[in-house]
A = this chain, B = another copy of it.
Amino acid sequence: MTATVVTLNNDLHEQMRILGNKARHAYALMAEARNEQKDMVLVEAAMALRAHAPDILAANKKDLEYARGKQLDKAQIDRLTLDEGRIEAMAAGLETIATLPDPVNKKLDEWTRPNGLVLQRVSIPLGVIGVIFESRPNVTSDAAGLSLKAGNAAILRCGSECLHSSQAIVGCLHAGLKAAGLPEDAVQLVPTRDRAAVGEMLTMVGLIDIIIPRGGKSLTKRILDESRIPTIQHLDGNCHTYIHMDADAQMACDVLLNAKMRRVGICGATESLLIDEAIVPTMLPKIADVLSKAGCEMRGDAQARAADQRIKQASDEDWDTEYLAPIISIKAVQDVDEAIEHINRHGSHHTDAIITSDSATARNFLRRVDSAIVMHNSSTQFADGGEFGFGAEIGISTGRLHARGPVGAEQLTTYKYVVHGSGQTRT
């Protein structure tokens, strides 16, 4: 659309592979970078973000103008929009990542075999990481910062509406890389809005080691279906809060309100309340008070509706729905076993919580609910890399392989075995 957007149409396939080869060369150097060097990248990039805030805001303005011609909803426009505060948050995010310990070259394990061989398992970078995200400029710096901290190279593909903003932000990361004597190609932004570039990324076997989609369910599903490269999966967050009969009533109300309504658009928001039928008549009306005052629509089963008229009738579909909106489904369950069974069937293996004062019931729930994050007496909205102490996150993995839960710098590493011998041969 403007001079800064490179046209790759002539030979997208070839151009994307050039990008991939540059990333592989940069990765080889990043993998050997000292921690102080990597931290310098992050700190210098944070300074550049602050220094170039006016340029970034100008680029963002161009993106917002471009976006006005498209059918974005209010939430999408909000996520696309930058201001001084959001730029500061990006800079602070990079500085936080810089304070983390080096996730690579860590001796994860060491043991000696009877023949005298000493085996070590040592963490190393994952390689070249492809991040495909929607039009959220801040993902640019979060994803690049986490990738670099773990010694990786990143190829970023942003949503078409935030290309100018992401370019300006990547410019600041390049300034950081340059200042630290590391290759700028360690962070590359796909410089075209052409959607075919995503298809190219998904087939760059041998050049990209892992694809991380970050966005809505349809984007993610397409990527998981089409990718020939391993992915870290984050499909949806149909999270549950289960209130057990031995729950403290006040805690249950406070935690549930926070879990559902603090922010309704994040993947860790509770979408479904399960409640023991024994306490439905006494506790549910109190909960319904709190939720309806906060503006939350309630959809429940027959038992729930019998206890409170403000609760509408839920359909079967509701149990499987991630609303990302001020709506909650409510189901009465016989006991913790039914709650666990319901969550494992209808949930998305993201984050599920129990509120109870009974520790044996809590243990049962925590062990048998098959989700990346299980919680006792706390809000599901804590499902977040920052809240976990990871500095930031690229997403929350609901898959079972490699990384589960918040994906921070440590999750962007793998390992190798280092074997020290003194001439051993195998018999």
Contacts and interface: CB of A to CB of B under 8 A. Distances in A.
A418 B366 contact: yes
A374 B419 contact: yes
Interface stretch (A63-71, A77-85, A247-255): A247-255
Interface residues of A, number: 62
Contacts of A382: 117, 419, 421, 424, 426
A12 interface: no
A3 to B, nearest CB: 38
B418 A374 contact: yes
Interface string A400-427: 1110110000000011111111111110
B117 A378 contact: yes
Contacts of A225: 228
A422 B379 CA distance: 10
Contacts of A111: 389
B400 A127 contact: yes
A367 interface: yes
Number of copies: 2
A210 B401 contact: yes
B423 A378 contact: yes
Interface string A1-40: 0000000000000000000000000001001100000000
Interface string A94-120: 000000000000000001010001010
Contact of A417 (B31, B230, B374, B381): B374
A399 interface: yes
Contacts of A117: 378, 382, 387
A421 B378 contact: yes
Contact of A230 (B372, B389, B399, B426): B399
B262 A416 contact: no
B113 A387 contact: yes
Contact of A376 (B228, B374, B404, B421): B421
Chain A binding surface SS class: mixed
Contact of A421 (B377, B415, B416): B377
A320 to B, nearest CB: 13
Contacts of A376: 418-421
Contacts of A374: 416-419
A373 B399 CA distance: 26
Contacts of A262: 425-426
A117 B426 CA distance: 49
B419 A367 contact: no
A421 to B, nearest CB: 3
Contacts of A426: 258, 262, 379, 381-382, 384, 387
Contacts of A113: 387-389
A165 interface: no
Given A32-B367, A119-B388, A424 B228 contact: no
A423 to B, nearest CB: 4
B424 A32 contact: no
Nearest to A258: B425
A371 interface: yes
7 interchain residue pairs of minimum CB distance:
A378-B421, A258-B425, A251-B423, A375-B419, A402-B402, A377-B421, A381-B426
12 contacts: A117-B387, A254-B425, A255-B424, A255-B425, A258-B426, A375-B421, A376-B418, A376-B419, A376-B421, A377-B421, A378-B420, A404-B415
